[in-house]
Amino acid sequence: MAEFLAWVLYLATLGLGGSIFVSAAFLPIQDRGCSQSLDHALAAARRLHSYYDKDRGMYSENYYQWTDSNALEDVQNIMLLSGSDAYTETSETSYLARAALDPGTDWSSWLGKYNDDTQWHVLSLWRMSDYKRRRGADPRPYLAAAERMYDIISAHWDDECGGGLWWTTEHAYKNAITNEQFLLLSAAGYLRNHNQTYLGNAKTVWQWLRHSGMRNHRGLFNDGLNFTSCHNNGQTTWTYNQGLVASGLGALSAATGDKTLLDEAEITLDATIAHLTTNGILRETCDKDTNEGKNCDGDQQIFKGLWTKHLMYYLEFANEPHRVQKYSQFLSAQSAAIHHHATNITSGDIGSVWYTPNQAGSIFSYKTVTSGLAAHIAAAKYGAC
């Protein structure tokens, strides 16, 4: 209690009282949660770090990617959950942290054309700020960078098809992921900074999303809109689209007190479990246990982990034990399946295929390790073991 009060006072001195909600949920697990999944997560984090290039501050081989920002976010999460400081360097010398800590960074030239990629960077910067604050360091450079990015992407909203953010700066496609992220950034950003502009944006983007037609009769979000008709384009219902809308609605519910938003989120979460699984385990449509030469691409390899991570964030925002209870078996089952079906015990690598034993179809990359790490973390926090 005394420690908690000291921490509140410390936040007050930084003028960051609004951050308590999000951060308090990331206290170390200690005796609660699932220790077996936490062990798996710690092993996955060690393996992920073996891919990390200290000089470039990246996991990816060529140039920084949105998947790197997700890996960095997961690494902050494991440090926050376990109390470990093993990967502190990622919050200081990763490509993203370096840019945030450099006051001279020109974000409009640093960022690429993809508004969804920029929003992954924001989520990662927020977690770096949480980690730094928890360790008594200054979170403000990360938060300032995130605010700047938020302003840059917000400028890409217009009335074409009744509203919505454009996927890229080229303004040729409006899709689900970019707008689901904008819902999350706006609502969770409001919980952090109490800025009414963020809350207004969150309400506006949800009204637009729910009337956009992108959620189909099964309760799943398709990829985006057909620009001739402004109707659902019927493209793939990727798992991550079903997770991001839940964390966004959870945050908006926490911001407004409107619990019906949680029921809206669960329509899509439950549809994922009903329709995007095999053997009760998440399966991307591109996941194949045998090598048929048409596997998931570099983006798609990480989607399932994003679903689990954003279910975890949803449960945090919802903060209701019966909702945790509803999903805890499912989260534990994902963690167990990853351990039994997807993990190479010799190397520690985690592959892309979770739903069945691999028969040469599973892909192994830092992205698939990241995906597994996110699922183990979610199970460590909310699993049923």
Ligand X SMILES: *[C@@H]1O[C@H](CO)[C@@H](O)[C@H](O)[C@H]1NC(C)=O
- Contacts with ligand X by CB under 6 A lie at 150-151, 195, 197, 226, 228-229, 233, 344, 346-347
Angle between the 239-256 and 196-211 helix axes, to the nearest 10 degrees? 130
Compute the least distance from the CB of residue 348 to ligand X, in Å: 8
> Phi and psi (nearest 5°) for 355?
-80, -10
Nearer to ligand X, 253 or 362 (CB): 362
Nearer to ligand X, 146 or 324 (CB): 146
Nearer to ligand X, 19 or 233 (CB): 233
> Which letter, b or e, does each residue of 134-169 get, where b requires 16 or more Cβ atoms within 10 Å of its Cβ?
beeeebebbbebbbbbbebbbebbeeebebbbbbbb
Compute the least distance from the CB of residue 198 to ligand X, in Å: 6
**CA dist., res. 31 & res. 28, Å (int):** 9
Nearer to ligand X, 28 or 348 (CB): 348
Concatenated DSSP letters for 297-308? -TTGGGHHHHHH
Concatenated DSSP letters for 59-104? SSSSS--HHHHHHHHHHHHHHHHH---TTGGGGTTSHHHHHHH-TT
**CA dist., res. 68 & res. 49, Å (int):** 12
Nearer to ligand X, 291 or 347 (CB): 347
Nearer to ligand X, 83 or 234 (CB): 234
Compute the least distance from the CB of residue 195 to ligand X, in Å: 4
Compute the least distance from the CB of residue 351 to ligand X, in Å: 8
- C-alpha distance across the termini of the chain, in Å: 28
Compute the least distance from the CB of residue 114 to ligand X, in Å: 20
Could you tell me if 157 and 117 are in contact, meaning their C-beta atoms sit under 8 angstroms apart?
Answer: no
What is the helix, strand, coil percentage profile of the chain, to 5?
Answer: 60, 5, 35
Nearer to ligand X, 124 or 233 (CB): 233
Compute the least distance from the CB of residue 318 to ligand X, in Å: 25
Looking up tokens 């917000």 gives 154
Nearer to ligand X, 335 or 362 (CB): 362
Compute the least distance from the CB of residue 158 to ligand X, in Å: 17
**CA dist., res. 378 & res. 238, Å (int):** 19
Compute the least distance from the CB of residue 360 to ligand X, in Å: 9
Concatenated DSSP letters for 225-265? B-TTT-SB------HHHHHHHHHHHHHHHHHH--THHHHHH
Compute the least distance from the CB of residue 50 to ligand X, in Å: 11
**CA dist., res. 27 & res. 7, Å (int):** 12
Nearer to ligand X, 157 or 330 (CB): 157
